[in-house]
């Protein structure tokens, strides 16, 4: 179950929200009105990491994270392999099942972006 985690970055709590569990992490970047500017959803933490990245400008990608760039706690930006992949629907189902503790508006936004991306690739 995704749960809120403490923010230890230079970005304020107002500008950033993080959720994580043992297999998934979600980071949301917020604007001054708490609207979502971008988010990164990482699946299969520390195993075979894949990320769904969504920006306010409409760019969305499902990418594999380079296994050689893993660092505990991710103190530096992770390296993303440049190739884009098709996202399996099981990722959407996994997020849907594990995201009940996320604020409803944020959860709907992420689910909508995942669904739109999945259907656009069909």
pLDDT band at 79 (very low <50, low <70, confident <90, very high): low
65: phi then psi, degrees, rounded to nearest 5? -90, 135
**Structural domain boundaries of the chain?**
3-120
53/5: higher pLDDT: 53
Q: Mean pLDDT in the chain?
A: 83
pLDDT band at 96 (very low <50, low <70, confident <90, very high): very high
27: phi then psi, degrees, rounded to nearest 5? -120, 125
Render pLDDT for 26-70 as a digit per residue (tens, 0 to 9): 999 998 888 899 999 999 988 888 999 999 888 899 998 877 655
pLDDT band at 104 (very low <50, low <70, confident <90, very high): very high
Position 82 scores a pLDDT of: 59
What is the chain's percent helix, strand, coil content, to nearest 5? 25, 30, 45
pLDDT band at 75 (very low <50, low <70, confident <90, very high): very low
């Amino acid at each position: 179950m995704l749960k809120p985690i403490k923010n230890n970055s230079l970005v304020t709590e107002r500008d950033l929200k993080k959720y994580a569990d043992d297999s998934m992490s979600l980071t949301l970047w917020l604007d001054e009105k708490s609207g979502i500017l971008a988010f990164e959803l990482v699946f299969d933490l520390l195993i075979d990491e894949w990320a769904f990245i969504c920006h306010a400008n409409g760019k969305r990608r499902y990418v594999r994270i380079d296994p050689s760039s893993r660092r505990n706690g991710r103190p530096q930006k992770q390296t993303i392999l440049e190739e884009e992949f098709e996202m399996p629907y099981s990722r959407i189902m996994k997020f849907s099942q594990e995201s009940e503790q996320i604020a409803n508006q944020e959860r709907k936004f992420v689910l909508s972006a995942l669904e739109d991306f999945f259907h656009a690739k069909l």
